[in-house]
Structures are given as C-alpha cells and as structure tokens.
Amino acid sequence: MAKYRVDTDQGSYIIETDEPPAQPPQQQQTPTPSFGQQFMQETVVNPVRQVGSGIYSLGAFGNRMGANIVDLADQLATKVSETTGLEKGGLFKDLSGWLRNQQHGQEQQAAQLSGGRQDLPSQLYRGITQGVGELPAYALAGAALGPVAGMAAIGAIRESDRGWQEALHAAAEGALLGKALHVMGPASRPIRLTGAAAMTYAQARLNGADNTTALANATTMGLLSGSRGGGATAKDILRNVPRPTLKSHLNPVEQQAIEMLKARGVHVDAPTQIGSKALRGAGALAENMPLGASVVNKSRAATESGLQRVSGELMQETYPATVTPESSGADVRGELLGRTEKLAKESNVGYQDAWEHAGNPEFTYDVPVRMEPEIGQDGKPTGRMAEVLEPVNMPVDVRDLKARAKPLWEQWQWRPAGERSTNAAYAALDKLLKGPDFISALEAEEGLKGFKSMARTENKSGQRDVAQGTAAGLIPELQERINEAVAHTGDKAIRGLEEGRRLWAEKEGIQDIYEDLPAEPVQAMGRLIWGRDTGIEFLRKVAKETPDQMAKIGRALLEQLFGKATQGGGFSRTAGLLAKWRDVGPETRKILFKDPKLIADLDNFFQAAEMTQRNPNPSGTALVSQLSNLGVLMIGNPVLGTAYLLGGRGLAKALYSPKGVELLTKGLRPQSPIARAEAATQLLHLTGGLGVVEVPGGPSKLEEFLGKFGTKAGKASRKWKRSW
C-alpha cells in the first residue's frame, strides 16, 4: 500500500491505498459574462425566473390560506368535542398537514427560481405576478364582507398560523388598506396609482422594510391599483367637499416658527408646514420617483436660499457691520481699559479741590511723628523715650491704626517677594507701618486706597479672608480721620474729597472687570456668553459698563452660528443649530439682543431651520433600479408607465412647489365649500390630475394622452363597487 495526499475544500490529508485516489477537479474561474449575455439575463432569463417564482409563491399563498382555514376549523372542532364529549375526527389535521407540505414545497421552488435576488425589478416581477393572482381572493372577500372587513379577514387568516397578535396586526393593516382603496376607488388612474403607492411605501418603511423593498411594494400596489382605466375626475370628486382634509400636526412653537419664515418670504414645503408623518413619507416617495427628485431639490434649494437671506437680515438687525469673535472681545477689553484711564484722570481732577491747601502753613501743625531715646543735657541717654515733633500738613493720627495693621503686614511677609513688590495694596500698608505716627491727609488717602483694594473680594464665595477682613476693619476709622483733617480747610475740600473717592471707586470696579476678562480676545468673548446663563452676573457687570458693545457680541455670536450652517454652501448644515442657540441662555439673549421682537424672530428662525433640516436620502441605487424598471414598464405597457412617470412628478409638485404648497395648505385655514373645491381643483390641475400636464408630442391633456378613460363619477363608482 502507498500513501497519497488528497486536497479538498476542507483541507489536505494523507491516506493509504493500493490505487491512487481520484483528485477533485480543479476549480476554474468563472469568466465574466459579455454585454449580450448580461442583456439576455436581465431582459429575458431573469424576468421569466422571477415570474415563475411569483407563480409558485401564489400557489404557496393559496395552500397556506387553505391550511390556516382548516386549522381554524380544527380548533373549532376541538372546542365542540370538549363541550359535547363527542369524539373529534382527524380529517382536518390530515388535510392541514397535506396543505402545509404543498406550501413548503412551493416556497422552496419559489426561492430556488428567485435566486435570492432582492433588486427592485426582480421584486416587481414576483410581486405583480403574485398580486394579480391574489386579486380573486380579495375580490371574493370584498364581495362577501365589504372592502374593509374583507381585506381585514384575508390579512387575519393569512397570519393566523403565527399567533393571534400577528393575526390582529395583519387584520388592522388589511382594514386600513381596504379603507384607503375604497376611498380612492372612484378616482381616476393617476390618483389611485400615486395614492396607493405613497401609502404602501410609508407603511412598509414603518414596518422596518428597506428602501428597495418599500419601493417595490409601493410600485406593485400603485400599478395594481391603477391597472384599470376610468374613474371620476377631480372636478366630479370635489364638487361636494365637506371640510378641509388636512390637519396641522405642529405644536404652537413650531407653528409660530413656520409662520415667521413665511412672513419673511421663505419657501417652506408642505410636509414641513403640516408636520404629518404621512406627508413626509409621501415626500420621500416622490423624491425617489422619476421626475420627482428635481422638483424636491429645487424646493430645498429655494428654502436654503431663503434661510440664508433671512439669517443675513437678522444679523443686520442685530448690528449693521460684520463683527468677528476676535474683534468683539478686543473691543470690550479696549473700552473697559479706556474707561479706567478716563476715570483715573477724572478722579485726580476731583481730588484737586481736596488738596488745594496741601503745603499751606495755615493748616500745618507740629505733631509727634515718632519716639526717640531722650538725651540729657550732658549729652547722654536718659533711658526714657521722647516725642519728636515735626510740621505735618493736615495731619492724621495713625498710631493705633499701625498697631492694628501690623499683623496684616506680617501675613504679607509669607507671600513671594515678587508679589509684594508689584502689589499696590501691600506698598501702601508697608509705607504706613514704616512711616511716621502722624501723616498728611494726602498720604493717608493713598493708604486708604490701598486698604480698600486689599479688602475687595476676588473669590466666587464673596467671603473675605483674615487679611481682607483686617484691612476692611481699618477703612472706616482711617477715612473718618482723613475727613476731619480735610474739613479744617473748608467745605469745598470735603466735596472734592468725596468726588475723588467716588470716581476712584468706580475706576477700581471697572479695573476688576477688565482684569477678570481673559487677555485673548476670542476667549474674552467666550467668557461673556457662558452656556445656560452660568456667567450672567459677570455679563451684566460688563453690559453696565459697556452697553454699546453688547450688540457687537450678539452679531459675532450669530456670525459663528450661521457661519457653520453655511459652510457647505446654502444653508444646509442646520443639525444641532437650535441646541446651540438655546445653550446661550434666555437672560444672555436679552442682554445681547435687547429688542423682544428680534429675540422672538431669532428663536423662531432657529426652530424653523431645525424643522427644515434635510432628511437623509436613501441610496441612489434605488433610483437607478427604478429607472431600469420604468424602461421595461414603458415598453410593456406605455399607458401605465406614463401614468407612473407623471404621477411622481405630480406628487412632488403638490408637496414641494410654491403653488402646490399654497393650495395644499389652504385646507389648514377655514374656507367655504366653494373655495375649498376651487383650491382642490387648482391643485389637481397643478399635479396633472385634470390632464393639463404637457407631455411629449404636444400640449394635449393627460386623459387624451392616456386614452379616453374618463367616465362619469356615478358610473365609475358603481363599477368599483361591483369589482369588490
């Protein structure tokens, strides 16, 4: 025996045998089919296979319905047996089993023929084939129970093998579909085709179907609903319109926002104005229908252009010139610094009257300025201390204040030397302690300024530390002694002293604000508009000192927000814009924009911009597949193909064109029956429902182009009822 290596898809292994084992044939790469082969596959082979799959699916549907009916009968027989005690036979169970076997076999055949293809044309071939075959079942149920109850019964029986919850859900969907078809029944072909397709698409997407499957279901239902000609014209249907058929789904805030845009001349499409999920679903369908996308894109471009224009108007109303965050922050800091410099000069002018008699001998007195060792007549120290008298202008006694301030001075010794050398408050304290016991009122006033600077709180709590508390305790007494010294020179000096102090205190307050603002201009603006009004108190202080700068900050803020929305051109990047605007805070907005009407317009604008945000578009392959299917449909049935083509454009024009939106939203306002009928008639003219859409070959009416399908309303209604 010899050893041989065998290679398989699962790997290689060694066997011992007398004869060499047969090796599996080498897999050859499948050649790429030619264009002719692809064309034959897509136009002949695949349609035949998918139609065959639809036929087997139709058979599986019939066997499933039969098995479910037999199962229900078996359940009823079980209840009868339990109630009466009679023995239940096995006929129902045997028959159900046979039908289930037939169903599963046909489902396997259908799956094999379909090849797993889920593209739009393949789904249409299968769906239309199966849909046409199922029509008799629905017609019988409708004739027996009516269109609503009949379709509900079919849905419930079809899903009864999956449990009562699924059966109830299917019954509800069937009733909804039956009611819709019943309402649209007397209408003309374009109305039935478009309406059934839009409703089916929205329902499929709500049930979780992907876009291609939803489009296939919508197209199948639309074509089946529009398969027969005739039907009442829109004029016949609208003669007795009882009430507006549209109801706004917007809340008051949203409604006010939309009205603001409309008042400023911005085009807003019907789905956005009405806020209905059904209309949004219809809009999504129109966007993906041939000739509908161009209408939708034109509508969106008009809306974005309007939003961009209104955003410019709002910025102009806030402040007429362009302002950047950098320039606004720099302007605020510049004005604060200018105010402090101006107040410092004004304070010095105010103090001039207080120090008018500085150096005047009339108000200069000999006072003890320090203590020195006493020297006797023999020139030797006596061991006692003696007062040294010197002339001081407007003298202020600071001996006890020096004793109380010494602990504060000692605390400062623990701070870095660099901080002590640059701190004006410490300089005043150090000079007080090292100076004479009596100082002039002018020198005492400078010390008073230092103590006031030291006593000002800089922490968020507003609580003074020990050093600040000590300094604050020295201020009243020192200020009173300075007042007494200056009062001897006259009332004019006292008034000058008070004016100088007032201006100096104002200057110091602004200086504190200036120092709290970051030196970097953009950061300075950010410090003023902290989110959720968290920095509102600081902003109020700045606004009090620089009121003219607030409008500039508001303009810079809008430049930031609107700049992000227009980065890609137009006004399309509106996601998150409303949240960023609300983050500014209502109190901050009041300070920056002041005018309540302007603030309301801005609130409405950001709300409306969020509402008009473009919905994510589905994959472009759906439109490509639909165009391919439309070509096949136009060849096979030009009448249905043309109606489908024009129906998509008509739906888009009704929902998105300015005239269509105007007519459609008239139903939101009270109107007389005549006015409602007139508006609805105009809407149908716009969408082609009355046949005024021009088609290739001349300006003929749609009904003339499709053929003479129009009939009287009564005749169409009777034919529809007989068909059910």
Q: What string of DSSP letters covers 78-91?
A: HHHHHHH-PPP-SH
Residue 689 confidence (pLDDT): 44
Q: Inform me whether the pLDDT recorded for 392 exceeds 50.
A: yes
The amino acid occupying position 723 is S
CB atoms within 10 A of CB 64: 22
Residue 366 confidence (pLDDT): 93
Residues 193 and 225 sit within 8 Å (Cβ to Cβ): yes
Rounded CA separation 357/254 (Å): 72
Q: Inform me whether the pLDDT recorded for 693 exceeds 70.
A: no
Residue 630 confidence (pLDDT): 46
Q: CA torsion 646→650→651→654, rounded to 10°?
A: 180
Q: Would you place residue 704 in the very low, low, confident or very high pLDDT band (cuts 50, 70, 90)?
A: very low
Phi, psi of 338 (to 5 degrees): -65, -40
- Of residues 281 and 632, the one with the higher pLDDT is 281
Phi, psi of 26 (to 5 degrees): -70, 135
Residue 702 confidence (pLDDT): 33
Rounded CA separation 8/23 (Å): 9
CA R_g for the chain: 45
Q: How far is CA 191 from CA 240, 522, 644, in A?
A: 18, 58, 10
Residue 94 confidence (pLDDT): 83
Least confident window among 67-81, 205-219, 231-245: 231-245
Pairing status of strand 2-8 against strand 11-17:
antiparallel
Angle at 511 between CA 510 and CA 513, to 5 degrees: 65
User: Mean pLDDT over residues 111-119, rounded?
Assistant: 84
Q: Would you place residue 558 in the very low, low, confident or very high pLDDT band (cuts 50, 70, 90)?
A: very high
Q: Would you place residue 184 in the very low, low, confident or very high pLDDT band (cuts 50, 70, 90)?
A: low
Q: Inform me whether the pLDDT recorded for 25 exceeds 70.
A: no
Phi-psi map region of 698: left, alpha, beta (phi>0 left; psi -120 to 50 alpha): left
Spell out the domain ranges in the chain.
Answer: 35-184, 234-317+618-723, 357-488
Q: Would you place residue 627 in the very low, low, confident or very high pLDDT band (cuts 50, 70, 90)?
A: very low
Q: Inform me whether the pLDDT recorded for 596 exceeds 90.
A: yes
Residue 87 confidence (pLDDT): 77
- Of residues 426 and 102, the one with the higher pLDDT is 102
Mean pLDDT of the residues in the chain: 77
**20-27: long-range contacts at Cβ-Cβ below 8 A with a sequence spacing of 24 or more?**
none
Rounded CA separation 281/205 (Å): 8
- Model pTM? 0.54
Rounded CA separation 235/678 (Å): 9
User: Mean pLDDT over residues 692-707, rounded?
Assistant: 34
The amino acid occupying position 410 is E
pLDDT digits (tens, 9 = 90+) for 458-499: 555 566 766 677 778 888 999 999 999 999 999 999 999 999
Least confident window among 96-110, 183-197, 324-338, 379-393: 183-197
pLDDT digits (tens, 9 = 90+) for 510-536: 998 998 999 999 999 999 988 888 889
Q: Inform me whether the pLDDT recorded for 20 exceeds 80.
A: no
Least confident window among 432-441, 517-526, 660-669: 660-669
Least confident window among 69-83, 551-565, 683-697: 683-697
